[in-house]
Amino acid sequence: MNCIPRRLQPLHAHLIPGSTTRIQQSPSRLPTTWTRYFHPGASFRALELAFDYHENGGKAKGAPIVFLHGLFGNKKNNRSMSKALARDLDRPVYAIDLRNHGESPHDRIHNYTALAEDTENFLQQHKLKEVTLIGHSMGAKTVMTMALRDPSCCASIIAVDNAPVDAALTSDFPRYVEGMKRVEDARVMDNKSADKILEPYATDIPVRQFLLTNLVRTSPSEPLKFRIPVRILANSLDDMADFPFTNPDERWFNKPALFVRGTRSHYVTDETLPIIGRFFPRFELVDVEAGHWVISENPKDFRQAVVEFLQDKD
């Protein structure tokens, strides 16, 4: 998508007039040790996730960063930012494909508990410790879920343009799904035909180009198809609007947490800030001049926010 460089807004909060975004948890709230929490319900079969590894030519030796994309995205969306953060912070970056996306396996179950278990399994497989988890949109709710399930799984989180609340997805996402279904049903042979069919459902060119990056051809004589399982994801939209935890008196994450929101997005409203503060008492907030696609619309200011946050924690 096109980048629109803008000025980074300073850290601020709207919880209480004159308050800061970093909220200290009272000593009575602090647990003496972190214990592993599991969200009630069935445990899902963890899938082995595809990933790209960025280490700045072997120079990045610090604590790892794990980068999670949003709905309909993949690890390649975050390639440039991953490389930049590896250089800026001297920390290796693992950009992963979540289940039903990119090169990772498909499964009919697609909710935040399953996404969290997959990523927890990834951390265990690769023996990653003191991790910073960065996630955009669907990825943001995944890293929040992980932090609340098991606070010891990471050292900090960065949640990009999403909040720990049940909130219906904007009407755009069901339209995108319907458009992608129409493309597959038409059995198109070229991107131009796919773009024409998708245009009424995704009128913004950058969004349409983003969705069409998922089109692949299995053989020269076969029509194009989406590598993401469109119908599985269509049936999971309600789960993507959901959030597994509802009681911040039972689960919270008392480690550094950065929330980055787009100034033109409606996913993290001022009304959600108090609940963010209860689940994540040490959270900081940065507003970036962008819509929902914060990282691609304003990479400069997003990068600055992340680097300042993580350098401050070193």
Instruction: Say whether 106 is catalytic.
Output: no
Separation in Å, CA 187 to CA 44, 102, 180, 277, 286: 33, 21, 11, 48, 43
Instruction: Say whether 136 is catalytic.
Output: no
What digits encode the pLDDT tens for the residues 30-54? 332 333 333 434 456 889 999 999 9
Q: Which of 86-95, 234-243, 263-272, 305-314 has the lowest mean pLDDT?
A: 305-314
Distance CA 237, CA 168 (A): 9
Distance CA 211, CA 233 (A): 13
Confidence band, pLDDT 50/70/90 cuts, at residue 14: very low
Instruction: Give the mean pLDDT of 59-88.
Output: 96
pLDDT of residue 248: 94
Instruction: Give the mean pLDDT of 121-132.
Output: 97
What digits encode the pLDDT tens for the residues 146-159? 999 999 999 999 99
Confidence band, pLDDT 50/70/90 cuts, at residue 187: very high
DSSP letter string, 118-179: HHHHHHHHTT--SPEEEEETHHHHHHHHHHHH-GGG-SEEEEES--SS--PPPTHHHHHHHH
User: Which listed residue (82, 136, 292, 296) is catalytic?
Assistant: 292
What is the percent of the chain where pLDDT is above 70?
A: 84
* Tokens read off for 287: 């507003």
- The structural domains of the chain, with segments of one domain joined by +, span 27-166+242-313, 172-237
Q: Across the chain, what does the average pLDDT equal?
A: 87
| b/e 271-282 (16+ beta carbons within 10 angstroms → b) | ebbeebbbbbbb
More confident residue, 42 or 311: 311
pLDDT at 28 over 50: no
Nearest CA-CA partner of 66 in 1, 173, 143: 143
User: Which listed residue (82, 137, 156, 296) is catalytic?
Assistant: 137
Are 194 and 212 within 8 A, CB to CB?
yes
Q: Which CATH number fits domain 27-166+242-313: 3.30.465.10, 3.40.640.10, 3.40.50.300, 3.40.50.1820?
A: 3.40.50.1820
Instruction: Give the mean pLDDT of 275-286.
Output: 97
Which amino acid, 43?
S
Distance CA 181, CA 179 (A): 5
